[in-house]
Amino acid sequence: MVSAVNVLAVLGVLLAIPHLYRIASFVWLYILRPTSIKRYLHGPKGGAYAIVTGATDGIGKATAAELLRNGFNVILHGRNEAKMQKVVEELRARVPEKKDADVRYFIADAAQGGHDFEKIIEPFKDLHITLVYHNVGGSDMSGLRLDERTTENVQGLVNMNALFPLFLNRALLPHLRRNAKSGPVLVHFVGSVAGDIAPPRLAVYAATKGFLESLTRGLDNDELFFDGPTGVRYTYLAVAAVHSDNHEAPIATSVTTPTTETFAKGIIRRTGCGRRRVAPYWVHAVMQYFINEVMSDGMIDQAGAEEMRGLIAQAKKGRIM
């Protein structure tokens, strides 16, 4: 006869399996797994290209530098040409060993509507693009409620964070499928933990990030299962706080808030990991586990509100510590 102790022991093992699997998966992804970035260096003699939007500052600029170091040519996006030209010079100085790499760019204000995306990509449509990082985006710490915002402000947030990457991706897709015939092609949408917790005063921004995560899944299913696989895949990058000097009130660097350079290295390390959603930085992955699996909605909402009160107050003083 089976004893109660044996039953409980078996039950304990069964309950422990998902947690053990999660721990093993974490160790593999963030410690043991070698990077897959070189898989995307395929194509003709001219080399592979990576597109990075929002590349004149912060995460975008740091990611562009890492891509250059790993042998990619880059196509950068920004909204100010003079600033972009300085960034191109800076990147060449930061990565002198890749002085022969092709660095191109295009200029467009992502917060504005009405772009001709076919015209935007026309100069690049024959290049062998294998990686795309839809990094452009932004929020504000003005503390305004939805009904206190102007129509232009709301439209700008939606355009920049959701519609610009959506329509740019639509224009690129036929060319990405063509390039995928010689090897894998990967498109990233840069998201935010705000999409998970929807903190007060950031409702529109959080909604655009939730949109990008759903878009990632839907587009990946399109390319993988419907008439596919086409070789084009999608990943949503789940981002928490990152220190960047370009912010009007930058958050100080800490264990939970890495520099853009550290974060960009995480993006490159996790590129091609096979997950539709991944946190590039390991501490952010731990934080998101507790948010999504451990904490109650009430705890998250209350903590998010307190955090936003502090951030808004400090932003108004021009400094976030």
Place of tokens 């499928």: 177
Structural domain contains residue 3: no
Reference 108, options 141, 131, 75; nearest CA is: 75
Domain contains 16: no
* Residue 252 within a domain: yes
Residues constituting the chain: 321
Residue 45 tokens read as 């003699």
CA distances from 252 to 46, 168, 172, 183, 245 (A): 41, 33, 37, 40, 9
- CB-CB contact of 224 with 233 (8 Å): yes
pLDDT of 309: 86
Q: Evaluate whether 91 touches 78 at the Cβ level (below 8 Å).
A: no
For residue 291, the domain's CATH number is: 3.40.50.720
- Predicted confidence at residue 57, as pLDDT, reads 94
Residue 23's Cα: distance from chain center in Å? 23
Which pLDDT does position 321 carry in this prediction?
Answer: 38
* DSSP code of residue 271: T
Nearest to 125 by CA among 73, 189, 74, 176: 176
Task: Give pLDDT, residue 2.
Answer: 58
For the chain, 321 residues long, give each residue's pLDDT as a single digit of tens.
557 776 666 667 767 677 788 899 999 999 999 999 999 999 888 799 999 999 999 999 999 999 999 999 999 999 999 999 999 999 999 999 888 899 999 999 999 999 999 999 999 999 999 999 999 999 888 889 999 999 999 999 999 999 999 999 999 999 999 999 999 999 999 999 999 999 999 999 999 999 999 999 999 999 999 887 999 999 999 999 998 766 545 578 899 999 999 999 999 999 999 999 999 999 999 999 988 888 888 988 898 888 888 888 877 776 543
At residue 247, the pLDDT reads: 53
**Helix 203-221 / helix 164-179 crossing angle, nearest 10 deg:** 20
What pLDDT, on the 0 to 100 scale, is given for residue 320? 45
**Collapsing DSSP states into helix, strand and coil, what is residue 105?**
strand
Contact 176, 232 (CB under 8 A): yes
Helix (H, G, I), strand (E, B) or coil at 135: coil
Does some domain include residue 10?
no
Residue type, 200: P
Q: Is residue 19 part of a domain?
A: no
Query: Do residues 105 and 90 lie in contact, with contact meaning Cβ atoms separated by under 8 Å?
Result: no
Q: How many CA atoms lie within 13 A of 230 on its CB side?
A: 21
Residue 187 main-chain phi, psi, to 5 deg: -115, 130
Q: Let me know if residue 25 belongs to a domain.
A: no
Q: Does the predicted model carry a pTM greater than 0.85?
A: yes
Count: domains in the chain = 1
Determine the structural domain holding residue 161 and report its residue range.
Answer: 35-316
Residue 78, in any domain of the structure: yes
Q: Is residue 4 part of a domain?
A: no
